[in-house]
Every structure is written in structure tokens, then in C-alpha cells.
Amino acid sequence: EPEVTQTPSHQVTQMGQEVILRCVPISNHLYFYWYRQILGQKVEFLVSFYNNEISEKSEIFDDQFSVERPDGSNFTLKIRSTKLEDSAMYFCASSGAGVDDEKLFFGSGTQLSVL
Amino acid sequence: AQSVSQHNHHVILSEAASLELGCNYSYGGTVNLFWYVQYPGQHLQLLLKYFSGDPLVKGIKGFEAEFIKSKFSFNLRKPSVQWSDTAEYFCAVSSSGGYNKLIFGAGTRLAVHP
């Protein structure tokens, strides 16, 4: 089965630093998402992206966050100035436009630790 | 606003026991319903989904779920669990049609003892 890949698997950063989390969605997918899971809490929706623009974002996705699809294959999440509370597992997901178009394929996640 | 409630946070079973994990959702319109599983150290995987039609949905690894519209429920079942079913299980809902964000429940950690 095709996979969504995420790099790095673990990222440690200092508070206030910028981080970029990288994702390679499944190649023929059209919709891209970022979710996060703070330890012990629910998986939360951050943002969805379609046709090179944000289609929906949650209240968590404030001005510190941005997403980009720089080259037609990668899909990145940037946190401009990390805070302690940004520590979480960040999941990228993608979905297509066919019969299973509402099936999200998730990556393995990037564990972000902000110190 | 949509929300998903999973009743059990931790479930401990012996192998061969039957499993039922509760899930209730809150949403006024037509929904799509999902169960995802996360094995230790692995990513979220889709177990099964309901979009429409037969409310009893069969998924991978012997799991099934029943959509009861009147109860806003989508409980996950397996008649006989195995040690390899040890994982965290997430119920999720999206509003029907097009791309849509998933709203997840808090998850249920299942531990199966041999």
C-alpha cells in the first residue's frame, strides 16, 4: 500500500526556534492535512490544504504556523517561533479524489520536543 | 460543533475475549465514521469506515462496527481478540462530502494479555 512519509521522526528544538516538519504525501493525492497529538490527548486537526492553498484551519493554527507545498511533492509545516506547548506528535495525512477519497493516509509522525 | 466521545480510556482483556469499544458522536448532519488503530510505535491506520449503506461495517483483522443512527453511535467490535490487537483505537467523524477534517475521539488503549 502507498505510504505517506514524514521526516524527521524526532525533532528537538529550543523554545523560540523555527522548525520545519516535512511530509511526502502519496503522489496522486490532492488533499493534504496536518494533525497533532499532544501526549495523552486527542489527535487534533490543524490544517487542510488543497489546490495550493489552505482550505480549512483550526484555532490552533495561528500565525506561528504555516504550510507550503514547495515543489509538488513535499508538504511542509513550519512553526516560526516554537513554544513549549508545541511539543507533540505531528501527523501528516493525504487523501485522493477517487472512490476512497475520504480515506486519509497518515504518516508515521514527527515527535517534536520543545525545550 | 462536531465532537466524538469514546467511553473507555483503557481496556484490558485476555486473549480470546470479546471486545466492544464505544463511540458516540455529536453532529447534526450526514457524517462519515471511521475507526483508526495505532500500534505501538506506528502510525495511524484505518480499520474501517462507514459512509452509507449497510450499517454493519466489516474492516481489517476481524474488526467490525455498527452504525446506529438513532443513538449516534459507531461501536467497534471483535469477537475474539489476540495479543497483537494491543494498540490504541480512535473513533473519528467527518462531515459527509468532499474533503473534510476528521474529528477524533480521545482514544481507547487496549491491552490484551496472553
Which has the closest alpha carbon to B108: B36, B43, B45, B41?
B36
pLDDT at A100: 61
pLDDT given for residue A80 in this prediction: 96
Give the integer Cα–Cα distance in Å for B36 and B63: 11
Distance, CA of B72 to CA of A8 (rounded, Å): 39
Walking along chain A (115 residues) 10 residues at a time, the average pLDDT comes out as: 89 97 92 91 91 91 94 92 96 79 83 96
Q: Nearest residue of A to residue B39 by CA position?
A: A108
Determine, for residues A33 and B100 on separate chains, whether the beta-carbon distance falls below 8 Å.
no
Mean pLDDT of B2-15: 92
Q: What is the pLDDT of residues B56-102, one digit of tens each?
A: 999 999 999 999 999 999 999 999 999 999 999 999 998 765 556 88
Give me the residue from A35, A42, A50 closest to B106, CB to CB.
A42
What pLDDT score does A51 carry? 87
Q: What is the DSSP string of B27-77?
A: -SS-EEEEEEEE-TTS-EEEEEEE-SS-SEEE-GGG-EEEEEGGGTEEEEE
Preferred mutation among A46, A54, A104 to probe B, highest tally of B CBs within 10 A: A104
- Residue where the block lists cell 520543545: A114
> For residue A59, which residues of chain B lie inside 8 Å, CB to CB?
none
Reference B77, options B60, B93, B63, B67; nearest CA is: B63
Grid coordinates standing for A97? 479524489
Position A47, amino acid: V
Beta carbons within 8 Å of B95's beta carbon, 6+ residues apart: B2, B27, B29, B30, B31, B32
Give the residue among B52, B25, B43, B23 at the shortest CA–CA distance from B35.
B23
Q: In this predicted structure, what is the pLDDT of residue A41?
A: 83
For the record, the C-alpha cell of A88 comes out as 507533540
Residue B43's nearest CA partner among A106, A36, A39 is: A106
